[in-house]
Amino acid sequence: MLRWYPRAWRERYGKEFLAMVEDSLDGRRPTWRLRVSVAWAGLRERGHQTRLTSQKALLRSLTRGWLTFQVAGYLIAVLPSEFKASPPPARQWQATAALGVLTAIAAFTGVALLAGSVAAAPAFVRYLQAGGWPKVRRRIAWAAGATVAAGGALAGLVLASLSESFSQLNGSPTYLAGVLATSLALVVALWLWTSVITTAAKRLDLAPRVRKAEKILGMVATFAVSVVISVNVIWYSAIQSSVFQLLLGLTALAATALAAATKIRLAARSGRRLRSASGRGR
Amino acid sequence: MASRRPASGLRRENDPPLLILISLADGPKHGHALAKDIAAFAGVTLGPGALYGAITRLEERGLIEPLGSDDRRRPYQITSPGSAALAAALADMRRVTRTGLARLGLDGGRA
């Protein structure tokens, strides 16, 4: 009877479902009506899972694309200019403030991601203990290899920067090529680790509270990335002395703040409504 | 005709998720116990397919959660968001019921 249901559903609910069918039959043979209704429910569940999977796949692809766009866009837009020019003294404060905000957001996002990882860790351990390791082993090996390569390239860059002056480095096409190659290696390593995480995450059996926490942390990280874009534009405007880019960055920052405030207000309103309904129901 | 569906996903009348939440409101139950209880208080017979379809959706939304169990019959309990969603749905239904009764002159004129 269970063959109509998707595999993941059978693994999660199969045993208790069959126990319930046995209890309700009480030793009698299953009727055709029961068989048809179970088959129909199984097909509906397949439809639901398919919709869910396509939504998740879309979300994953958007997330990957977005992150890659961020890193690549940052490298193309900011780094080459930074080697050729530094902000004029009048705009130094703007670049310093933008860099400070970038650092703070990077640290904040890092903490959010770390909290998300810690919250999901017990479910990940359960997944590995239940035979999940072979499913992620190869991806982890690739990601680890890419990390070692990126780490080696980064160490080479640091060594090169110690042996030469800033003016020599800024004028060196080899050093610039090294920076770009290292950045690319870091992007590939990040991409591969993202692949490991998404592969494992879609198989994790997270408790409802953890799922809710992950959703909130994901939202926080997304807004943080949006702020990073805006601050990048402001930083770039300081280097280029461009008022237009400064206004563009400030507008993007205001739009992000507005979107975040709206999201928080809607969530708070929904929470208040549920709490007051809960109070009335008592 | 278009129907309004609340954020909790609970609809009115004999919606299986709503019946399951009402059944779990007085304590955890496993599948068969849920079906028997719902048949007793609502007169609705939920087959295994409909019952587990609703359990799956409710668990996905975090409105119910499974409890640990040594045998195959896994009990479920209502969560805090589940209680709040149930209270909201029932308050909504009470308002509609009162209006209907008042218009029929069966509720002392309270609407």
How far apart are alpha carbons B49 and B45 in whole angstroms?
Answer: 11
SS3 label, residue A52: helix
Q: A41 vs B53: CB contact, 8 Å cut-off? A: yes
User: Could you count the other beta carbons within 10 Å of the beta carbon of residue A17?
Assistant: 27
Query: ∠ CA B59-A275-A262 to the nearest 5 degrees?
Result: 90
How far apart are alpha carbons A232 and A254 in whole angstroms?
Answer: 14
Nearest to A79, CA basis, from A250, A232, A241: A232
Amino acid of residue B100: G
Tokens in use for A50? Answer: 């398919």
pTM comes to: 0.44
User: Could you count the other beta carbons within 10 Å of the beta carbon of residue B78?
Assistant: 23
Kindly report, residue by residue over A73-92, the tens digit of the pLDDT: 555 555 545 545 566 676 67
Query: Is A24 in the B-facing interface, judged by CB distances under 8 Å?
Result: yes
User: Could you count the other beta carbons within 10 Å of the beta carbon of residue A12?
Assistant: 17
Give A 42-81 residues with CB within 8 A of chain B.
42, 44-45, 48
CA end-to-end distance (rounded Å), chain A: 41
Kindly report, residue by residue over A192-220, the tens digit of the pLDDT: 887 787 777 777 777 767 777 777 777 77
pLDDT of residue A53: 67
Answer for the pair A267, A282: CB distance below 8 angstroms, yes or no.
no
- Tens digit of pLDDT per residue, chain A (282 long)? 788 888 888 888 888 898 888 888 888 888 888 888 888 888 888 888 776 766 566 566 556 555 655 655 555 555 545 545 566 676 677 767 777 777 787 777 778 778 877 887 888 888 887 777 887 888 889 989 998 998 898 888 888 777 777 677 777 788 888 888 888 888 888 788 877 877 777 777 777 677 777 777 777 777 777 777 777 777 777 777 778 888 888 888 888 888 878 877 776 676 666 566 555 544
Residue range B89-102: mean pLDDT, rounded: 89
Tokens in use for B63? Answer: 């409105």
Q: How far is B79 from chain A (nearest CA, A)?
A: 9
| Chain A neighbors of B90, CB-CB under 8 A | 281
Chain A interface mutation, best of B8, B10, B56, B69, highest count of A Cβ atoms under 10 Å: B56
Q: A24 vs B32: CB contact, 8 Å cut-off? A: yes
